[in-house]
Amino acid sequence: MIRLSMAGTGAILLDAAAGPFDAATQRRIWAAARALGGAPSVVQAVPGVNNLLVTFDALHTEPDAVEQLIRQAWAAAAAEEIPAREVEIPVTYGGAFGEDLALVAKHAGLSEEATIAAHLAGRYSVAAIGAMAGFAYMTGLDPRLAVPRRDTPRLSVECRAVVVGGGQAGVMPCTAPSGWHIIGRTTLPLFDPHRPDPGFLRIGDTVRFTRVA
């Protein structure tokens, strides 16, 4: 069962979430996004986590027609396997680069070393790109590390901080406010608007973190 709702005049949100995150639903979201992204009346089809936002030009397009298009695309979309790229992200954990590592470890009931090991053991999947330019929502975090987000977001989290929040993993592509917890730092640039392919990570990528001594 999907739910469609208005997101203003020129956008419709398809919500396919039913309980916990579902990987097969997410693959179907990607497939529907790919199909809709090529439709002439659609400006952008933006996958979220088990949901999809479709923007269109309301000056020239009737929302009812877009709704119908979304329903058709969803019905036709199969949970396709994207040829996944394997990507490695090197991380320096803890210390000055991971000020929340102790907090995450405490929440998980683990030592800091065991917390790092749990983060390193994960095989993550990029479910969606959004919030900030080049920010990847990665699923596959060890549930023990699923610390709820901070009640009050930090006003500034450094670019390249390796973070966990709300059961997901991420890496900051720029310095920005965030309520996620900082456990390390990478050296990889995650977004460069001047590259032909600006984002380092793409939807469907399989990500592994590696430890830099």
Partner 1 sequence: MIEIRANSALNTIQDRGRPRAMTLGVARGGAMDMLALACGNMLLGNEPDAAGIEIAFFPFRLRFLDDRAFAVTGARGPVRLDGVDLPPDWAVIARAGQTLQCDAPTEGCRTYVTIAGGIDVPLVLGARATDLKGGFGGLEGRALQKGDRLPCGVPATPGVPPHGYGLAVRCPMPDADATRVRVLPAAEYDDFTAEARHAFFQTAWRLTPSANRTGYRLEGTPLAQQRPLNLFSHGIVPGTVQVPPAGQPIVQMADANTCGGYPKIATIIESDLRLLAQTRVQGSIRFVETTRADAIAALRAEARDQARRADAFAHLRRMLIPA
Binding positions for partner 1, rule: CB under 8 A = 3, 5-11, 13, 15, 17, 21, 37, 43-53, 55, 58-59, 63, 128-135, 137, 166, 173-174, 176, 191, 193-194, 198-199
Q: Least distance to partner 1 from the beta carbon of 196, Å?
A: 11
Residue closer to partner 1 (CB basis): 37 or 90: 37
Q: Least distance to partner 1 from the beta carbon of 151, Å?
A: 9
Residue closer to partner 1 (CB basis): 152 or 213: 152
Q: 203, 30 in Cβ contact below 8 A?
A: yes
Q: Least distance to partner 1 from the beta carbon of 72, Å?
A: 20
* 3-state SS class at 4: strand
- Burial class for 109, CB neighbours closer than 10 Å (0-12, 13-18, 19+): exposed
Q: Least distance to partner 1 from the beta carbon of 35, Å?
A: 14
CA-CA distances (angstroms) from residue 48 to 51, 75, 115, 139? 5, 18, 27, 12
Residue closer to partner 1 (CB basis): 57 or 113: 57
Q: Least distance to partner 1 from the beta carbon of 75, Å?
A: 21
Closest by Cα among 21, 22, 47, 43 to 32:
47
Closest by Cα among 76, 99, 81, 75 to 150:
99
Residue closer to partner 1 (CB basis): 52 or 105: 52
Residue closer to partner 1 (CB basis): 26 or 115: 26
Q: Least distance to partner 1 from the beta carbon of 45, Å?
A: 8
Residue closer to partner 1 (CB basis): 53 or 120: 53
CA-CA distances (angstroms) from residue 16 to 83, 166, 181? 23, 19, 27
Strand extents, DSSP E, the chain: 3-6, 11-15, 42-47, 51-56, 86-93, 124-129, 136-139, 154-157, 161-165, 168-171, 176-178, 181-186, 206-211
